[in-house]
Structure 1
Amino acid sequence: MTVTIRPAERSDLPLLVQWNAAMAWETEQKALDLAVLERGVKAVFDEPRRGFYLVADHDGVPAGCLLVTYEWSDWRAGDFWWIQSVYVVAEARRAGVFRSLYAHVEQRARDVGAVGLRLYVETENERAQRTYAGLGMDRCHYFMYETEFAASS
């Protein structure tokens, strides 16, 4: 079984929307507005400063994805790369798909001089937490706070 990583293309848009919606439901039981989600995914392709998607193909079939976005760190004078919107189809889980995506992102980030990788995970998602720790990521000491604004049309 082979996992290959490639930059997402606009033709992957339906899959990326579908997988983002599935991930939101599986992790938070949150039903996303698909029209808003599609606009959000398209915006990454329209404005590369927002980040980029990667797709993992497992034996030639799309099996997972993630989004990388950037956070400037004035303390370190460089970008942290945030791993977001991770999804692996059920039949390809535990087959090295996320591990391959992560290794690709890590190497790419190192190659361009990023200062580190970050991601957030649901507090109850212990399986994902074990996966991230197994890849060498450390749990940091920050809590995350937010204020959400109503979506604009």
Structure 2
Amino acid sequence: MTRLRIRDAAPADRDLIADWMIAMAWETEHKRLDPDTVRAGVEAGLADAAKARYFVAMREVEVAGRETIAVAAGTLMFTHEWSDWRNGDWWWIQSVYVAPEHRRQGVYQAMHGHVAALAQATPGVIGLRLYVERANTAAQSTYRALAMDDAGYAIFESEFGKS
């Protein structure tokens, strides 16, 4: 049986997480991200819990039929959003990535469960939210299976510095 462990990300995880974010942006949106900007952004998030909190899923894999080693299998970040309507914080799940060789094996479910348990144990947290690309039906199915519902919102943005 494969074991998963979810741990807080460390500064040494910066390059791996940044590489995964670049891969995720390409896979899900066909967007090419600037590697230096992403690395700086991940580094800033890792350094300041007020900005973000990252986790890494570690999976034990067997090597040469006898030894097991822990390998990074995925990552998840969350940020906070204050809700005056509810007098509490939403935790926004973002920057989710599971390495292709570890997909459909419970990695996201384990990360989600870890964050959900932390959220429920943290006073003032009122729930979890995330956004997903409309065409990403596989992810939507996963989120629904974890008792998440479509909140009925569309997201609009105005990115500064873009022409």
TM-score category (smaller protein) = over 0.9
Structure 2 counterparts to residues 1-153 of structure 1, below 5 A: 1-59=2-60, 60-113=70-123, 114-150=125-161
RMSD: 0.9
1:89 maps to a residue whose letter is A
> For residues 45 and 59 of structure 2, what CA distance do their matches in structure 1 show?
24
Structure 1, unmatched stretches of 5+, are none
Please state whether the residue corresponding to 2:50 is helix, strand or coil.
helix
Deviation string, structure 1 residues 49-82 (Cα, Å, up to 9, x no partner) = 0120000011110010011000000111110000
Structure 2, unmatched stretches of 5+, are 61-69
> For residues 105 and 38 of structure 2, what CA distance do their matches in structure 1 show?
28
Please state whether the residue corresponding to 1:123 is helix, strand or coil.
coil
Deviation string, structure 1 residues 23-73 (Cα, Å, up to 9, x no partner) = 000000111000110111011122210120000011110010011000000
Higher share of residues assigned helix: 1
Aligned length: 151
TM-score relative to the length of structure 2: 0.91
Bigger RCO of structures 1 and 2 (CA < 8 A, at least 6 apart): 1
CA contact (8 A) 2:75 2:98 kept: yes
Please state whether the residue corresponding to 1:72 is helix, strand or coil.
strand
> For residues 46 and 128 of structure 2, what CA distance do their matches in structure 1 show?
21
**1:90 Cα offset (Å):** 0.4
> Where has structure 1 moved over 2 Å in runs of 4 or more?
none
Q: Which has the larger radius of gyration?
A: 2
Give the fraction of aligned pairs with identical amino acids, expressed as a percent.
46
Please state whether the residue corresponding to 1:115 is helix, strand or coil.
strand
